[in-house]
Amino acid sequence: MEFSKDLSRSEAKYKYIGLPNKIRENFPEKDELFDVKFENKIYKMKVNNKDCIMLSQLYHVHEFQEGETLTIKSAKKGYEFSVE
């Protein structure tokens, strides 16, 4: 699975990424922790009750901006996030 999304103003400001229904099924159940590799470091993340992943803990490495593209890929263990 690979998914890319341009961050909206709201997503950048409130530090989350909304998952569309077609992608949501590729992630664990609500509040179940999973590994995310970002900038060569592993983070524990989860999907909340609004089908969003909060990006707050990644902001110390990268301050996401409106219009940036966040790409999510399945990895051997968890997921890999990258930003352009």
Domain parsing of the chain, residue ranges: 2-83
Topology classification of domain 2-83? At1g16640 B3 domain (2.40.330)
Q: By three-state DSSP, how is residue 12 classified?
A: helix
Query: What is the DSSP pairing of strand 69-74 with strand 2-6?
Result: antiparallel
SS3 84: coil
**Is 0.85 topped by the overall pTM?**
yes
Amino acid identity of residue 40, one-letter, is N
Is there a contact between 46 and 32 (Cβ–Cβ < 8 Å)? yes
Query: For residue range 26-75, what is the model confidence (pLDDT) as tens digits?
Result: 999 999 999 999 999 999 999 999 999 999 999 999 999 999 999 999 99
